[in-house]
Structure 1
Amino acid sequence: MLILHHAPQSRSTRIVQLIAEMGIEAEVELRLTQIPRMDGSGGRDPGNPHPEGKVPLLEHDGAQISESNAVMLYLTDLYPDTALGRPVGHPSRGAYLSWLAWYGNVFEPVHLLQFAQLSHPALSASLRDVPAAVARLQAALAERDWLVDDHLSAADILVSSTYGWLPQLMPDDARIRDWVDRCLSRPAMRRVSAEDKARAGA
């Protein structure tokens, strides 16, 4: 049995969007939970087994998977026929894994540091910075419409989610804007976004 602990309009929204895009909503029980929010609202939910009280957290027959990129990899490996992942042996498997890891190791951290107005030579030497991250996106999207290969993948949903939540961070680049629009305008993505707003309002 698959259970996703989800807080509306949070990082776990992109997992709900992936599940919808994969067409496996009937296979996953969605358990709504509260989390501490940056504005001071919310709080830790004792019913959420995540060790830090965060989301997403996926449970599968007793196993617990946290972190968005890990949850996405787990789901797309579990359902390889849905075509949102790239299974072992696929020519694009390496690129798929690299983009998923890059998001958590580089893309989100450098944007968070910029948002917090924090800088240090050690950080830029290790993580680089937002311009370097944007340059990598530009290089990939100059060659194709999607990050991994010629088809949408969970990596596109993951990376584009940052610009979905914070559109003011989106660079003034036509290819990146078109790619984000292709990702976010898909029917499943729009439906989940609307449903999530309704959940948050309730």
Structure 2
Amino acid sequence: MSNLVFYTNPMSRGRVVRWMLEEIGQPYDTRILRWETGDTKRPDFLAINPMGKVPAIVHDGVVVTECAAICAYLADAFPQAGLAPPADSPLRGPYYRWLFFGAGPVEQAMGAKTVNLEPTPEQRVSLGFGCLDDVLGAVEGAVRDRAYLVGDGFTAADLYLASFLSWGMTFGSIEKRPAFEAYVEPHLQRPAARRADDIDDALIAAAGQAVA
């Protein structure tokens, strides 16, 4: 039994963390929580995440929730994977900047788009993400003609942002700009990303077969 336990559902943001776990290359145990049986609302899981949402991890007794927080935690807990700049590196600033830009403005703007909320000019002043066009413009400037967000290597910030750009372009909440597609595609072809997709896709298929 591993000292790293992953709580997820294959049709959730848990896919982001699955990719991160495959990148760090450490053994982990998976607990699949099913929506239809109310697993995320049971007392044992609410004790881990009172929001009743996945993903979550427990590592050596330490509970971490929220995708970006989990990615940042794992990158630091397993530095041998090289998924974050060293703590004393000047690259640490832009690394945090873009990792949490993905977790903040990108996710918020995508969520607003998903539920058909278009902030008025007055509302944009109060909202941290302003509007989707502002967010996408900032992201496009960060990834245009660049393989990586920070320095010359892949980090958890790339994993996080590529995940959400890919999801948004697939489901229509983010337009398919050439700069986004050029940035995302090589990251999705990383061996860890492909392994993670294979694992979660197999879980979805197995659940479908079981229901049938």
Contact 1:86 1:93 in 2 (8 A): yes
1:52-91 per-residue CA deviation (whole Å, 9 max, x = no partner) reads 2111111122221110010011100111121111231122
The alpha-carbon deviation at position 9 of structure 1 amounts to 2.4
- Determine which structure has more spread, i.e. the larger CA radius of gyration: 2
1:149-177 per-residue CA deviation (whole Å, 9 max, x = no partner) reads 22111111111212333413343422210
SS at 2:30's partner residue? strand
Q: Aligned residue for 1:43?
A: 38
Residue 8 of structure 2 is aligned to residue 9 of structure 1? no
TM-score (normalizing by structure 1): 0.88
- 1:113-128 residue pairs with structure 2 within 5 A? 113-121=112-120, 123-125=123-125, 126=127, 127-128=129-130
TM-score (normalizing by structure 2): 0.84
Distance 1:185-1:157 versus aligned 2 partners, 3 A rule: same
Q: Aligned residue for 1:61?
A: 60
Aligned mate of 1:173, from 165, 174, 177: 177
Distance 1:18-1:123 versus aligned 2 partners, 3 A rule: farther
Percent of aligned pairs with the same amino acid: 27
Contact 1:76 1:86 in 2 (8 A): no
Contact 1:144 1:150 in 2 (8 A): no
Residue 190 of structure 2 is aligned to residue 191 of structure 1? no
Q: Aligned residue for 1:131?
A: 133
Instruction: Give ranges in structure 2 of 5+ residues lacking alignment.
Output: 207-212
Segments ≥4 residues shifted beyond 6 Å: none
Q: Distance in 2 between matches of 1:139 and 1:163?
A: 14
Q: Distance in 1 between matches of 2:194 and 2:54?
A: 21
The alpha-carbon deviation at position 123 of structure 1 amounts to 4.2
Distance 1:170-1:103 versus aligned 2 partners, 3 A rule: same
